[in-house]
Structure 1
Amino acid sequence: MNDHTSSQASIDCRYLRQYIAQGYLLIWLDHNIDETNEECQNILKLLNNVDNTINIFTNPDECVDFFTETNGIKTFLILNNILGEQIIPLIHDIPQLDQIYIFSRTNLSSDHEWIKKWPKIKHVHSEITSLCNTLKMVIRQTNQDSIITSVISPNEIKESKNLNELEPTFMYSQIFKDILLKMNYSDNSIAEFITFCRNKNFGSTININRFEKEYHDKSPIWWYTWPAFIYSTLNDSLRKLESDTIIKMGFFIRHLHDQIQQLYDEKRDSFGKKSFKVYRGQGLSKEHFEKVVKAKGGLLSFNNFLSTTESKRVSSMFALSASTAPDTIGVLFIMSIDPSISSTPFACIKEYSFSAEEKEILFSMHTIFRIGNIKKHVSYDQVYEIELQLTADDDQDLRILTDWLSKDVEDEIGWKRLCNLLIKIGQLEKAEEFYNTLIEQTSDVQDLIHYCGQLAFIKFQQDDKKMWVWYHVKINELRRTTSSNHSDFNNKIITTNMNLSEDSKTVMIDDSDCTSASEAVLKCDVMSMEEFQEKQVSANAFRFYEKALADFERNLRSTTIYNSVDPVDDDLKQTCPLLWFQRKMLEIRQKYLHPTHPDIARSYGVIAPLYSEREDHYQARSFYQKSIDIYEKILPSNHPILACLYNNIGLTYECTSEYSQALFFLKKSLEIGEKALPPDHPDLNSTYGNIGAIYQLLNEYSNAIVYYQKRLAIHQRQLPLNDLKLADDYENIGLMYNKLNDYANGIVYYEKRLAIHQQQLLSNDMRLIDSYENIGTMYSKLNDDANAIVFYEKALDFAEKYSPSEYATMFIYSFRIARLYEKSENYWQSVFFYEKAVGINRYLSSNPLNLALCYNNIGAAYTKLGENWEALVYLENALKMKKSCSSEDESCLGSIEDNVNRLKELLNENEDQSE
């Protein structure tokens, strides 16, 4: 059987990870594929040499279902001309369909009229070798563009006080290199990686089996350049910092580096002392390109193994090709290499590569360059040339960074060192991912306690208090499994199950659930006031917590006593026991700990929201500020925990209508979050929404839209298209456009909101009628009466069906619809809805103005219809109701008397004429 993936109607989720790692899908769709046919087998063999994960389909529907289920993975599609002409109009605008190639074994000119219509058709081929050459270039381009770079400007190096202020990827890729190249690996590492690949479905079974059987028969460079799963899996894991894959591939990274180093050492003398140039063409996002431009004179690192060539022409073509992609700048890197710089090994791999067609020079991972001149390409205006100089072994800036790294994580080795760095630079999610991977791979009690302690620290900084408690409880369990509390656990091996079931994460306040006083204290730390009261703590349980406080104080006693404590009002014990408990804990900590101890800061941070729950926002603010004052002294200025506190104190200012101060703190929170957190982090999402709400309260609707849009963008990347949170975002943005009198845009967002609500809500949900009314109102303001009527009628139908007692609402909708029909000169429909309004008004408390308006307008409509006698009846009724109205209301009715008199005169004249 060939190495390609077999046809299937729906993508198997087990294989999805393979395509994500690869970064693209290659599909061949042709009615006439027959894998038993010799010609077809030859074509497949050649295509497999390009990419042996090619997917083959003979059914168009199955093919389209397949690549539309892959969540935006770039897709390259091969079609024959007949099928292409039929199917391309239907699929051309699917976003993930990137490029189409027509492969017809009959001669076909690319100037065919139907081909000109579709810009995604890039090439037309009648020979398989020509098609394969094109695909090789396209796949190589995709691989080139997937390699990420990190930049650090000269000012960042000079002005930054610590690692937290530098680009994270630059830091941890350097640590990766140090760790991976110092670790020792055995054949067992290879076996573990193969098992890992099979479990994760990285690559086809045939390719994994081949790697297992032939690994030692071929060189690491050969495997790296082999068009299968090794290259894509390695580079994707390094790009995304995927802990499990990197750890499993550590042996291969080490082997590949060692071969490059060996070849460098062997050929070093042949290079001579003269510098030479190599080239690399790829695409950079506009944002990243601007960052490189601003960092001129600084450092740029390639965080993967770096592939270059001696051919400027070939690299220029790659850069030119990349420039055609949306929001992408084509870049030609011109790299000056001093062969005497021994810290960065490189090798010409032509003799060792899977494909020996060109002179490729491969550098080991994390190669660092100095950024030189940046200018437009001489031949291609849309391409920029960036000159890079390989950094010398004694480069001053590089030495500063290396010294920082050594100093900041000098106490740890191996993966612990990397995790420590990730925490220091605020990459908490990645640190957590690594620690969880390490937990799965060890049963050593000391390591498990260390990892749980670090995870508890991470969870506290993420404000996940329940999981913070869970890890502390787990640490206590681990310690109880040992023979003593001595710090040396003699490497005792245990089999504790570290998997976190939902039940095990639940925190209870029952005294029977607390196996120690310290656990009782921890569990109270994470409870809200409402939760505490819901538990209905018994007198016995409360005595247990009082005992816990006594034990807690006894454990903290030392020779030093600090006298500055916040006294606790004992009345709190009855009115708010949880707050009393936390205040007592703070009192104990203040008595025995240094004033800037992080546990005191944490106590302030736990107490503040309890005051917020009591709507005592000034006290809450005071405790948040005390927590901030300590953390600002002991944490880096851009630490995520400060971002959280700034956000929370900002919300207390919002609650007291001090919006400028609220905005000040929320923006401080955002400034940290945008630097220290991943772009889709929930805390960023929350802060964007909070800032948008403040601008809305300040009536600065344009600014509110900016931040609501940022929150929407995160939700769109994270959530299903019909998630109710998206509907809320659309409502907020639509409302802001409405406030700005930009009704056209307001309608766009309200209609998106309505579309989600119609899919997700029950048919009687009141949010539906809200959308109908708002959309109708905005159409009315745009003088689009027809659409306004449509939505007001939907609102009225909803009210009649699901809220039949909401007479005031139904009256308003009926009246508005009648007015719109009247404005559109559809007087019969106008009369119908005014009559409906009159009927509804009977169920409302007496309101003569409503009836007077309806009667007056019905009379006017009948007049327009020439039904003067009917008009007179209603106008006279309007006149009667007017007499019951207040003088202020009368002004709304105009001169009904004049209308009645004129109509009577007209009717009398008509009567006289008829006589």
Structure 2
Amino acid sequence: TNKEVSFEFAECASTTTDTVGILFIMSIDPCLKSTPYASIKEMSYFKEEEEILFSMHTVFRVVAIKPMDNENQLYQVNLQLTSDNDQQLRLLTDRIRGEAGGSGWQRLGSLLLQIGQFNKAEELYNVLLEQTSDQGENAIFYHQLGLVHSNRGDYERAIWYYEQGLTIHQKILPSDHPILATSYSNIGSVYDNLKEYSKAVSFYGKALKIHQKILPLNHPDFASSYNNIGLVYSKMGECSKALSFYEKSLEIYEKTLLSYHPLFATLYNNIGLVYGKMGEHSKALSSLEKSLEIDQKTLPSNHPDLATSYNNIGFVYRNMKDYSKALLYYERALDILKHPLPPTHPHIKITKGSIVIVKEKLLRIANI
């Protein structure tokens, strides 16, 4: 688009207090054949805008972000067109494709779950469930609907869907199949959230036994089993055992994953929570801030996992009696949770309760 026209749009957006104007400057190498683009100036209704149309799979690298005013309301973002042969891009997309799994609609559903679009994911999986008679596909869709309800906090419904999928998989798969381990882990996670820790340990243990049979010692799924068991020990107050399992997970992740992989965020978060329980607040904040940094790099700004990080950091500051900072992080968490989740979701209730407690503490201090 014509630079002057683009700047006018960006400048207009910057005049509103709750929006930010951004001028994108795109550098394009015409020799990159893998990214088609064309001028549509002659076909556009507004020819003076001099618009360029890029293909849908176009990816740009962010080179620089520069403020264009003193109010932090207007920015210039420099972008560099990448090619399909870009090594870093290929590593990232291969990792995303591997984690999403499947193809077509199944991959779309997995990606919707990863970016927190739970309602859209549910709609998709219900349609797919109605359209197939294949038992294997039915089991997958039941399992994914379990993930949807688990993320929403509807844990009883999540267990129902997980068990539907598990029953089918137990009939059609060998007893040590990795898909069964995934089902056991996810059911364990739900029982964990329901505070039924003995059931959680039982299902996590089933997943670990399968992993011990079929996986190399440094496989990331092995680390996930260690992490899950450590999480239960943490909630049972057995902090030393929890840290032991978390350290096993961290050792595997450091050998097998990229440094900004989301699994690191989960693990650092869990380690931070244990240190918090042990009263080692500086170590707790260090781990939780590492988790938050990864989440901020890899997740949308309104993703529920960011709210979890803010809540946990707020809790540490609350225990340190730094109530102003605690309130700041709790309110950031609530701002995120209010959008994708219903007001009855337990995470929203807990966060609101934390805000009330911290405000009461601040009020008492002010009245002293």
| Shorter-chain TM-score tier | 0.5 to 0.7
Task: Specify every segment of 5 or more residues in structure 2 that has no aligned partner in the other structure, as ranges.
Answer: 175-179
* Residues 240-639 of structure 1 mapped to structure 2, 5 A cutoff: 278-280=1-3, 312=4, 314-326=5-17, 328=19, 330=21, 343-348=35-40, 350=42, 355=45, 360-366=50-56, 391=81, 399-400=86-87, 403-404=90-91, 407-408=94-95, 415=104, 419=108, 422=111, 427-429=114-116, 433=120, 437=124, 440-441=127-128, 442-443=131-132, 445=134, 448=137, 451-452=140-141, 455=144, 467=158, 470-471=161-162, 473-474=164-165, 476-477=167-168, 527=191, 586=208, 590=212, 593-598=215-220, 600-612=222-234, 614-639=236-261
What is the rounded CA distance, in whole Å, between the counterparts of 1:718 and 1:625 in structure 2? Answer: 33
CA contact (8 A) 2:40 2:51 kept: yes
CA contact (8 A) 1:320 1:382 kept: no
CA contact (8 A) 2:139 2:169 kept: no
CA contact (8 A) 1:332 1:383 kept: no
Residue 661 of structure 1 aligns to a residue whose secondary structure is: helix
Q: Deviations over 1:442-499 (max 9, x none)?
A: 526388269549849977997989748844742652785xxx879xxxxxxxxxxxxx
The one of 340, 356, 361 aligned to 1:731: 356
CA contact (8 A) 1:439 1:448 kept: no
- C-alpha displacement at 1:661, in angstroms? 2.6
- C-alpha displacement at 1:606, in angstroms? 4.0
- Structure 1 residues 736 and 326, CA, compared in 2 at 3 Å: closer, same or farther? same
- C-alpha displacement at 1:698, in angstroms? 2.4
AA in 1 matched with 2:322 = E
Task: Specify every segment of 5 or more residues in structure 1 that has no aligned partner in the other structure, as ranges.
Answer: 1-277, 281-311, 487-515, 534-575, 744-777, 782-915
- C-alpha displacement at 1:694, in angstroms? 1.8
- Structure 1 residues 447 and 390, CA, compared in 2 at 3 Å: closer, same or farther? farther
Judge which range, 604-613 or 670-679, deviates more. 604-613
- C-alpha displacement at 1:410, in angstroms? 7.9
- Structure 1 residues 368 and 279, CA, compared in 2 at 3 Å: closer, same or farther? farther
2:308 maps to which residue? 686
CA contact (8 A) 2:38 2:52 kept: yes
CA contact (8 A) 1:456 1:469 kept: no
* Residues 90-239 of structure 1 mapped to structure 2, 5 A cutoff: none
What is the rounded CA distance, in whole Å, between the counterparts of 1:454 and 1:529 in structure 2? Answer: 17
- Structure 1 residues 589 and 345, CA, compared in 2 at 3 Å: closer, same or farther? closer
Higher RCO (C-alpha 8 Å, min separation 6): 2
CA contact (8 A) 2:292 2:306 kept: yes
What is the rounded CA distance, in whole Å, between the counterparts of 1:385 and 1:429 in structure 2? Answer: 27
- C-alpha displacement at 1:634, in angstroms? 3.6
- Structure 1 residues 701 and 471, CA, compared in 2 at 3 Å: closer, same or farther? closer
CA contact (8 A) 1:428 1:458 kept: no
What is the rounded CA distance, in whole Å, between the counterparts of 1:660 and 1:416 in structure 2? Answer: 45
- C-alpha displacement at 1:629, in angstroms? 3.2
CA contact (8 A) 1:332 1:386 kept: yes
- Structure 1 residues 436 and 472, CA, compared in 2 at 3 Å: closer, same or farther? farther
Residue 363 of structure 1 aligns to a residue whose secondary structure is: strand
Q: Would you say 1:699 and 2:321 are equivalent positions?
A: yes
Q: Would you say 1:650 and 2:272 are equivalent positions?
A: yes
CA contact (8 A) 2:143 2:183 kept: no
AA in 1 matched with 2:275 = Y
Identity among equivalent positions (%) equals 29
Q: Deviations over 1:67-99 (max 9, x none)?
A: xxxxxxxxxxxxxxxxxxxxxxxxxxxxxxxxx
What is the rounded CA distance, in whole Å, between the counterparts of 2:210 and 2:339 in structure 1? Answer: 46
CA contact (8 A) 1:419 1:435 kept: no
AA in 2 matched with 1:728 = G
CA contact (8 A) 2:38 2:53 kept: yes
1:85 maps to which residue? none
CA contact (8 A) 1:408 1:421 kept: no
- C-alpha displacement at 1:324, in angstroms? 1.9
AA in 2 matched with 1:667 = E
AA in 2 matched with 1:474 = G
- Structure 1 residues 439 and 631, CA, compared in 2 at 3 Å: closer, same or farther? farther
- C-alpha displacement at 1:734, in angstroms? 2.0
CA contact (8 A) 1:705 1:736 kept: no
CA contact (8 A) 2:218 2:252 kept: yes
CA contact (8 A) 1:669 1:687 kept: yes
- Structure 1 residues 602 and 358, CA, compared in 2 at 3 Å: closer, same or farther? closer
Aligned residues: 350
- C-alpha displacement at 1:279, in angstroms? 0.8
- Structure 1 residues 522 and 322, CA, compared in 2 at 3 Å: closer, same or farther? closer
AA in 2 matched with 1:621 = L
AA in 1 matched with 2:291 = S
CA contact (8 A) 2:268 2:288 kept: yes
Residue 325 of structure 2 aligns to a residue whose secondary structure is: helix
AA in 2 matched with 1:443 = T
Judge which range, 609-618 or 428-437, deviates more. 428-437
The one of 265, 286, 292 aligned to 1:670: 292
AA in 1 matched with 2:36 = T
- C-alpha displacement at 1:325, in angstroms? 1.8
What is the rounded CA distance, in whole Å, between the counterparts of 1:388 and 1:316 in structure 2? Answer: 14
CA contact (8 A) 1:639 1:672 kept: yes
Q: Deviations over 1:195-223 (max 9, x none)?
A: xxxxxxxxxxxxxxxxxxxxxxxxxxxxx
Judge which range, 458-467 or 633-642, deviates more. 458-467
CA contact (8 A) 1:646 1:668 kept: yes
Residue 346 of structure 1 aligns to a residue whose secondary structure is: strand
AA in 1 matched with 2:279 = S
- C-alpha displacement at 1:630, in angstroms? 3.2
CA contact (8 A) 1:432 1:458 kept: no
CA contact (8 A) 2:185 2:225 kept: no
- C-alpha displacement at 1:627, in angstroms? 3.5
Residue 429 of structure 1 aligns to a residue whose secondary structure is: coil
AA in 1 matched with 2:12 = S
What is the rounded CA distance, in whole Å, between the counterparts of 2:340 and 2:152 in structure 1? Answer: 21
AA in 1 matched with 2:13 = A
- C-alpha displacement at 1:434, in angstroms? 5.5
Residue 291 of structure 2 aligns to a residue whose secondary structure is: helix
What is the rounded CA distance, in whole Å, between the counterparts of 1:457 and 1:720 in structure 2? Answer: 17
Root-mean-square deviation (Å)? 5.6
Residue 651 of structure 1 aligns to a residue whose secondary structure is: helix
TM-score scaled to structure 2, two decimals? 0.64
TM-score scaled to structure 1, two decimals? 0.31
- C-alpha displacement at 1:717, in angstroms? 4.9
- Structure 1 residues 444 and 409, CA, compared in 2 at 3 Å: closer, same or farther? farther
